[in-house]
Amino acid sequence: QVQLVESGGGSIQTGGSLRLSCAASGRTFGINYAAWFRQAPGKEREFVAAINWSGALTHYADFVNGRFTISKDNAKNTVYLQMNSLKPEDTAVYLCAAGGGWWNVRTTQGAYAYWGQGTQVTVSS
């Protein structure tokens, strides 16, 4: 089993920045990649960004448009999401996920066996 614990969410004004953290523990040797998804009220969960477990590969949703950066501290088994130039439409619960499948399915929720509880990000105008 793998445990994922997110932190770093909060309330911020438009244009501000937040850094989310996702600490992984347990049997992490089977993980191939991790990702951030988000879910806004009344909307479906959507992919935000993914990183392979070595940190060498990253992938972003189109709406990120250079505003977010996903990274990983291998020594701490922690994945980060640096979010800049935040907009009200970025308001959502952000969830960390980890999976052991192929990199080519990284944007698919079903590729992830492990999920954190989520952290709320609220951006006000």
Q: Does the pLDDT at position 123 exceed 90?
A: yes
**Using CA atoms, how far apart are residues 29 and 120, in angstroms rounded to an integer?**
28
Q: Does the pLDDT at position 103 exceed 90?
A: no
Average pLDDT of the residues in 65-85: 96
**Using CA atoms, how far apart are residues 62 and 54, in angstroms rounded to an integer?**
23
Burial-class residue 43 by CB neighbours within 10 Å (0-12, 13-18, 19+): exposed
Q: Does the pLDDT at position 13 exceed 90?
A: yes
